[in-house]
Amino acid sequence: MNNMKQGRILVVDDNKNVLSALKILLNTYFEEVTLLSSPATLPAALREKNPDVVLLDMNYSAGINTGNEGLFWLSEAKKANPDLPVVLFTAYADIDLAVTALKEGASDFVVKPWDNAKLLATLQSAVELRFSRKEVAKLKEKQSVLNSQLNRNSDVCWGDSPAMRELLRLAEKVAKTDANVLITGENGTGKEVIARKIHRLSSRLNESLVTVDMGAVTETLFESELFGHVKGSFTDAHSDRAGKIEAADKGTLFLDEIGNLSYPLQAKLLNALQSRQIIRVGSNRPVAVDIRLICATNHNLFLDVENGLFREDLLYRINTIQLEVPPLRDRKEDIPALASFFLHRFAVKYNKTGVTLGQEAIAKMQEYAWPGNVRELEHTIEKALILSDNRVIDPSDLFLRRQGSAEKSKDLENVTLEEMEQALIERAMRNYGNNISAIAKELGVSRPTLYSKIRKYGL
């Protein structure tokens, strides 16, 4: 039984018979039970015992049953720890008093004489709430550390083309609001980098930016991943866990590749976005969330709506403002600056400072179509720096894909398996308009496998 005990309970009641009865009942279910016969010692007990939930009587003075004393000590407890669940306890049921107490921050209200099962369920639910809040706080702390590291290394080269200047102007303008943003563009154009810039310039800067790769979330784990779950809700749910939406509370939620979300799951996401609350898997308690939503996709979602692949109501919910990131082939004047930026970064990383880009190499890069966009350029520069023994990167150091040759080549002896695989994926993407589910079915692979290969080839 000891292994089943969870949570520390602090009970405050001036009736010694009540305290005795509760001690017998609660000791069986909770790891620590502290009893106070006077609320005067409550502040000290909160500091010393650090309880997970407080069961607080509403009245202490003889002949007075207004509940004002309980409301006062509720306020004191919340001052000491705003996240501490407080369950109020009284022999005088009053709806108005209960409503006032809940508005003042109480998590629940129990009337004497109590039903043991209902009281235990209320207190255990409050403990679960406490654990959930601790978990979310821990997740946010970790995310804050990660964000600070990312911000510290957030030097980004955007380029100075007219298209990028206009995009950044719009991003800076929309960042100051809480409007939902949809970032569109081909794979590898830097949609996530734009999302991070919006978050850094927003009023939520000091809160978490939580990223969810929708293309990598399986349908079976979707609800658990986004909404969280409670212990025992399914086979592997060994403990309560907050979902990504809850972890993003007060901050920014970035849903990458939202166009890959299946139609049935879109309704569940829409419901959470509309109600601004989530319910963990296995629970029936709604949790309010305050998030700023940014989504990204390489799909034409308006075309997907026409084809019945994407919900129109969800599209308009996520698309208050749309930002289109231009492909690299449409802003080739940015290539020299981007290439030099990546070269400097990797030169420091691999201790090869002093290497420069030759003009012929720059010219070759500007002639190339860059189907993988900025991500492909970054990988190309990294590979060139690693493999080159020269102080100047020349055209022979650049390993660029033969444009169109992988699919069109008649000479199979000169085509690698990877080139053939890439060509098949490219052809399927053209045939199915980047519908990941249809492409995966055509190629006979799972969605996560297909998604990883798309990333691998920079498609």
Judging by beta carbons within 10 Å of its beta carbon (0-12, 13-18, 19+), is residue 237 exposed, middle or buried? Answer: middle
Residue pair 40/16 in contact (Cβ under 8 Å)? The answer is no
Tokens of 293: 């939503």
pLDDT reported for residue 59: 79
pLDDT given for residue 107 in this prediction: 83
| pLDDT score at 144 | 59
Query: How far is residue 56's CA from residue 107's CA, in Å, rounded to a whole number?
Result: 11
Residue 299, SS3? Answer: coil
In this prediction, residue 92 carries a pLDDT of: 64
* Res 241: pLDDT: 81
Query: pLDDT tens for residues 406-456?
Result: 444 334 445 567 777 888 888 788 777 667 877 887 788 887 788 878 877
Cα separation of 436 and 450, whole Å?
A: 8
Low-confidence ranges of the chain (pLDDT < 70): 1-4, 62-66, 92-95, 137-154, 402-416, 433-434
| 211-262 per-position pLDDT tens digit | 999 888 888 889 888 998 887 777 777 777 888 998 899 999 999 999 989 8
Residue with tokens 């969330």: 289
CATH of 328-397, one of 3.40.640.10, 1.10.8.60, 1.10.1060.10, 2.40.30.170: 1.10.8.60
Of the CATH numbers 1.20.950, 3.30.70, 1.10.10, 3.30.450, which one belongs to the domain with range 405-457? 1.10.10
Q: According to the CATH classification, is domain 154-324 in 3.30.70.1450?
A: no
> Reduced to 3 states, what is the DSSP secondary structure of residue 156?
coil
- Angle, in degrees to the nearest 10, between helices 447-457 and 417-432: 110
| pLDDT at site 342 | 95
What's the CA gap between 204 and 248, in Å, rounded? 10
The answer to whether the beta carbons of residues 102 and 70 sit under 8 Å apart is no
Q: Do the domains at 154-324 and 328-397 have one common CATH topology?
A: no
Percent of the chain with pLDDT over 90: 40
CB 252 within 8 A of CB 294: yes
Residue 74, number of CB atoms within 10 A of its CB: 23
At 406 the pLDDT is: 40
Flag whether the pTM goes above 0.95: no
Domain extent listing, the chain: 2-131, 154-324, 328-397, 405-457
* 2-131 to CATH, choices 3.40.50.620, 3.40.50.2300, 3.40.50.300, 1.10.8.60: 3.40.50.2300
Residue range 331-343, pLDDT digits in tens:
999 999 999 999 9
Tell me the C-alpha distance between 224 and 24, whole Å. 36
